[in-house]
Amino acid sequence: MTDTLLRGRTLSFVRWPEAIDDQGAWSYEEDGGLLLRGGKIVAAGAYADVERQAGEGVAKVDHRPHLLVPGFIDAHAHFPQMQIIASYGAELLEWLNTYTFPEETRFLNAQHGRRIARLFLDEMIRNGTTTVAAYCSVHKESAEAFFAESHDRNMLNIAGKVMMDRNAPGELTDTPQSGYDDTKALIAEWHGKGRQHYAITPRFAITSTPEQMEMAGALAKEFPELHIQTHLSENHDEIAFTRELYPQAEDYAGVYEHYGLLGPRTLLGHSIHLAEREADIISETGSVAVFCPTSNLFLGSGLFDYQRFRRREKPLRIAAATDVGGGTNYSMLRTMDEGYKVIALQGEKLNPFQSFWQITRGNAEALSIADRVGTLEAGTEADIIVLDSRATPVMELRMETVKSLAEELFLLQTLGDDRAVREVYVAGKPSKSIVAA
């Protein structure tokens, strides 16, 4: 297989940027090179240095003047919700009952699942997202469809069939035993196959009986290396209903705590309205609070207190996500634009380096996959995207007055979307051009 040598302006993070001038937090090469071999980055640095390490027959791709950054990571999305995104006028529980649950019943049909999985991953790629933590429907078939499609593209994705056995239509419920059995069969078939990762996925406390929570906890014990994904404290009515259903629990997070579902691989979608005790146990267990700004605004759920969560004495690990189809956009650039506004509404700021850290290395760390993706470091997997800061007339005009990398990143976040993503390398293979064709 021939090696590939990419040339462009390379940007990758080594840690959280404390401030806008914290240059030790990232590495930036004005004329950078990335040498790709066998799906991995084998050398990275100044172009001249990397070129010297490249062999004779190397295929050179010149992406100048564009930026090469690690593929974006989306820490929470629902692939079966593509055809209900932009559904009008409801808060969480009504939105679930009116739009989401009826839609998800369609995923019993494997062919439908495969079609939507294909279109969903096309959309991820078009937006520069190379890894997503995805919820499937309750049907085993939907997870099979998602993984088959993901495996065909050689994407590193994390997904699971939702476990839900109450408070939903009959066609959309499993049982504690069938949820356990189907999950176990899917783990055996898909976890570790190529780049696929299985996530144990009890949807949220409202749709699982205590018996099902026990089964989810049993799976978590049997498979401690797996991710667990669920929802937490998104909306006040949801919290009140959960307290009714689990009266013995100290609080909402206490439900997941009781069943052994908190830990460093647990992704807690939303986590907006947290009591201090809940934030403490989330921190102590190393669980991850997932910030879903477009969804939290769209459903009127609330404002995630990003900076306070980060700075508290027991800080939270934080990821960022689209939460499509409660979320309203597939782009992590659009997501962080809305995230910036949510944080601004609370009198705080998230600077552009922090934003780009979050959707690359930050999300990779939150998903415990930073040794594999989320940076451009040699030895990692070659999920790389090419960003064009002049992708639209409006961006081109604004770029005339941009004087620094920080300003350029902020422009990309504020005005950019899928049009700013020129190419996407998935394990070294150019994929956006394929999706577009």
**Chain residues that interact with ligand GUN, rule: CB under 6 A:** 78, 92, 96, 100, 203-204, 231, 234, 295, 323, 326
Rounded-to-integer distance, Cα 135 and Cα 113, Å: 12
Element housing 134 (H / E):
strand 129-135
Tell which residue, 258, 259, 274, 180, has the closest CA to residue 217.
259
Residue 270 CB, nearest approach to ligand GUN (Å): 7
204 binds, among Zn ion, ligand GUN, none (CB under 5 to 8 A by kind): ligand GUN
Nearer to ligand GUN, 36 or 136 (CB): 136
Residue 164 CB, nearest approach to ligand GUN (Å): 9
Rounded-to-integer distance, Cα 358 and Cα 322, Å: 13
Residue 383 CB, nearest approach to ligand GUN (Å): 26
Please identify, among the stretches 214-222, 242-250, 262-270, 408-416, the one whose residues bind Zn ion according to the rule CB under 5 A: 262-270
Residue 231 CB, nearest approach to ligand GUN (Å): 4
Residue 229 CB, nearest approach to Zn ion (Å): 9
The neighbouring-strand residues paired with 146 are: none
**In 185-335, at which residue ranges do the beta strands (DSSP E only) sit?**
196-202, 227-232, 266-270, 288-291, 317-320
Considering only 17, 71, 269, 325, the residue that binds Zn ion (CB under 5 A) is 269
Q: Work out whether 80 is an interface residue with Zn ion (CB under 5 A).
A: no
Neighbours of 170 (CB within 10 A): 6
Rounded-to-integer distance, Cα 414 and Cα 67, Å: 16
The neighbouring-strand residues paired with 4 are: 36, 59
Contacts of 397 (CB under 8 A, 6+ apart): none
Nearer to ligand GUN, 139 or 203 (CB): 203
Considering only 323, 338, 381, 417, the residue that binds Zn ion (CB under 5 A) is 323
Nearer to Zn ion, 212 or 301 (CB): 301
234 binds, among ligand GUN, Zn ion, none (CB under 5 to 8 A by kind): ligand GUN
320 binds, among ligand GUN, Zn ion, none (CB under 5 to 8 A by kind): none
Rounded-to-integer distance, Cα 414 and Cα 94, Å: 31
362 binds, among Zn ion, ligand GUN, none (CB under 5 to 8 A by kind): none
416 binds, among Zn ion, ligand GUN, none (CB under 5 to 8 A by kind): none
Element housing 63 (H / E):
strand 59-70
Nearer to ligand GUN, 47 or 79 (CB): 79
Residue 208 CB, nearest approach to ligand GUN (Å): 10
Nearer to ligand GUN, 107 or 204 (CB): 204
Task: Write 388-391 long-range contacts (CB < 8 A, 24+).
Answer: 388/66, 388/419, 388/420, 388/421, 388/422, 389/66, 389/67, 389/416, 389/420, 391/416, 391/419, 391/420, 391/422
Characterize the bridge pairing of strands 40-46 and 26-37.
antiparallel
216 binds, among Zn ion, ligand GUN, none (CB under 5 to 8 A by kind): none
Residue 325 CB, nearest approach to ligand GUN (Å): 8
How buried is 386 (Cβ within 10 angstroms: 0-12 exposed, 13-18 middle, 19+ buried)? Answer: buried
Residue 137 CB, nearest approach to ligand GUN (Å): 10
Rounded-to-integer distance, Cα 55 and Cα 113, Å: 43
Q: How many chain residues are in contact with Zn ion, going by CB under 5 A?
A: 2
Which residues in this chain contact Zn ion in the complex, by CB under 5 A? Answer: 269, 323
